[in-house]
Amino acid sequence: MQIESAMVLAAGLGTRLRPVTNTMPKPLVPIAGKPMIDYGLDALAAAGVQRAVVNVHHFAEQMIDHLARRDHPQILISDETAALMNSGGGLARGLKLLGPDPVFVLNADLFWVGEREGEESNLRRLATFFDPARMDMAMLCVRLEQTTGHNGKIDFSMQGGRLSRYVPGQGTPVVYAGAMAMLPALLADAPDGPFNLNVYFDRSIAAGRLHGLMLDGHWITVGTPEAIAAAEAVVGKQAGAA
C-alpha cells in the first residue's frame, strides 16, 4: 500500500543529551551537518508521504521555525507546550490532525543510513509489509549489531514476522528502530491525557497482531553528547562508500 501521512514524535526533553539540549531541542541537534529530524522527514518524503504531524514542546519555537522551511512533506504542528503527553498521548493527539488512512509513526531522534541503492527503501518496504487485516502495527526492527549509540537493550523477539517481548532463546532478538505503520483507529479508545505507547504494544502482542520487518542498513541513536561523534563517523563512512 501507499502511505501518505505520518506522525513524527519530537516533543521529548532530551535530558541525557545535555548540555547540548540546554539551547536547542534534541531533534534539531545536527549529525554530520544535518538535524536529526531531517533524516526522518527526508525518508518520509522519499517514501511518498505528503503530510506529517510533528509534536513540539522543548524549544517549540525553534522547532516550528525549522519545520516551516520545509516544502515536503507538508508539516502540521501538534502543540504540546502546555504539557508533555508522553509517547502514547502525543501520538493519539497528533493523529487527530490526520485522516483514517494508514500512517507511519517515527521517532524524531532515531534514523538509519546505508539502504541499498536501487532497492525499495525501508519505509516503502514497511508500507508493503503492513497488512491491517492481520496486524495492529508493523514495526521496523534491527539487529543489535547493526546499531550505533544504542544501550544494548533488546526490545522484542521476532518469530515468523510476529513480535513478542524479548525472552532469551526465543526467536530473533531485535531492537525497535523507531518507525512503524499503523491505522489511526487503533488509538480510538486512547485516554485524553499522557500515557505510554507500550500499553498498545502489549495489547497487540497479546492479540498476536504486533509484527516486525528487519531494517536494511545501519540504525543510529544519539542519547548522549559522547554519542554524537560515533554517529557522525557512521554517517561519514556511509557517505564515503556511496
Q: What is the pLDDT of residue 238?
A: 80
Summarize pLDDT for 191-239 with one digit per residue, the tens.
989 999 999 999 999 999 999 999 999 999 998 999 999 999 999 888 7
* Calpha distance 51→68 (Å, rounded): 13
- Here the cell at position 61 is 519555537
Instruction: Please say whether the beta carbons of 103 and 7 come within 8 A.
Output: yes
Q: What is the pLDDT of residue 84?
A: 87
* Calpha distance 91→194 (Å, rounded): 10
pTM of the complete model: 0.95
What are the residues whose beta carbons fall under 8 Å from the beta carbon of 66, sequence distance 6 or more? 28, 35, 37
CATH of the domain at 141: 3.90.550.10
SS3 for 118?
coil
Q: What is the pLDDT of residue 241?
A: 66
Q: What is the pLDDT of residue 117?
A: 84
> Considering its fold, how many domains does the chain have in total?
1
| Domain residue limits at 67 | 5-241
Element (DSSP H or E) covering residue 128: helix 122-129
Q: What is the pLDDT of residue 242?
A: 59
* Calpha distance 99→106 (Å, rounded): 17
Torsion, Cα 17 152 86 77, to 10 degrees, reads: 60
* Calpha distance 8→147 (Å, rounded): 21
- What letter does residue 168 receive in the DSSP assignment? T
Instruction: Please say whether the beta carbons of 109 and 222 come within 8 A.
Output: yes
Q: How many helices (H) and strands (E) does the chain have?
A: 6, 14
Q: Considering only CA atoms, which of 113, 116, 89 is closest in space to residue 7?
A: 89
Q: How many CB atoms lie within 10 A of CB 29?
A: 19
Q: What is the pLDDT of residue 240?
A: 65
- Give pLDDT < 70 ranges for the chain: 240-242
